Amino acid sequence: MKFLLSELKEVEYLNDILESFYIATGIHAEAVTMGGEALYKQKETTGCQFCKIVQSVPGGEKRCIDSYKRAATEAAKWREPYFFRCHAGLVLWAVPVIIWGEAIGSIICGQVLLWKPDDFFWREQEFYISKYKQFDKLIIAAQKLEVVSAERTQAAADLLFIIVNHVVARNVRALEEVDKANRVQQELHQKMQQLDDKQGDRALHYESYLKKERLLLQNIRLGDKAGAKSNLASIFADLFIIAKGKSPEINQRIFELCCLVSRYAVEGGVDADRAMEILENYEFELSEIGAIYHQANKIIEYYLEEIFAFTDKKHVGMVKRAREYILDNYHQPIKVEDIAKSLFISPSHLSRLFRQELNSTVLEYLTRVRIEKAFELLKSNEYSIEKVSGLVGFKYSSYFVRIFKKHVGMTPLTYRNKLF
- pLDDT at residue 245, rounded to an integer: 67
CB-based burial of residue 269 (10 Å sphere; 0-12 exposed, 13-18 middle, 19+ buried)? exposed
The residue among 379, 328, 330 whose CA lies nearest residue 211 is 379
Domain with CATH 3.30.450 in the chain: 5-175
Q: What angle do CA 413, 414, 417 make, to 5 degrees?
A: 85
Torsion of the alpha carbons at 174, 178, 179 and 182, rounded to the nearest 10:
170
Q: What rounded mean pLDDT belongs to the chain?
A: 76
CB-based burial of residue 170 (10 Å sphere; 0-12 exposed, 13-18 middle, 19+ buried)? middle
- pLDDT at residue 194, rounded to an integer: 60
Give pLDDT < 70 ranges for the chain.
1-13, 40-47, 100-101, 114-115, 117-135, 165-204, 223, 245, 267-269, 289-290, 308-316, 420
CATH of domain 316-419: 1.10.10.60
Q: How is residue 147 annotated by DSSP?
A: B
The rounded distance, in Å, linking the Cα atoms of 41 and 15 is 10
The residue among 274, 272, 300, 295 whose CA lies nearest residue 284 is 295
The rounded distance, in Å, linking the Cα atoms of 235 and 289 is 14
The rounded distance, in Å, linking the Cα atoms of 305 and 297 is 12
The residue among 297, 281, 366, 300 whose CA lies nearest residue 332 is 366
Q: How is residue 303 annotated by DSSP?
A: H
CA distance to 41, 223, 302, per residue, from 229 (Å): 49, 11, 11
At the top level of CATH, the class of 5-175 is alpha beta
The rounded distance, in Å, linking the Cα atoms of 83 and 81 is 7
Instruction: State phi, psi for 108 to the nearest 5 degrees.
Output: -90, 125
- pLDDT at residue 32, rounded to an integer: 84
CB 103 within 8 A of CB 29: no
DSSP string spanning 305-326? HHHH--TT-TTHHHHHHHHHHH
Domain with CATH 1.10.10.60 in the chain: 316-419
pTM above 0.75, yes or no: no
Q: Which residues contact 364 (CB under 8 A, 6 or more apart)?
A: none
Instruction: Give 5-28 pLDDT, tens digit per residue.
Output: 555 555 566 777 777 888 877 788
Instruction: Give 31-85 pLDDT, tens digit per residue.
Output: 888 887 877 665 655 567 777 877 777 787 888 888 888 888 888 887 778 888 8
Q: List 105's β-bridge partners, or say none.
A: 33, 97
Q: How is residue 149 annotated by DSSP?
A: -
Q: List 10's β-bridge partners, or say none.
A: none
Q: What angle do CA 127, 132, 136 make, to 5 degrees?
A: 100
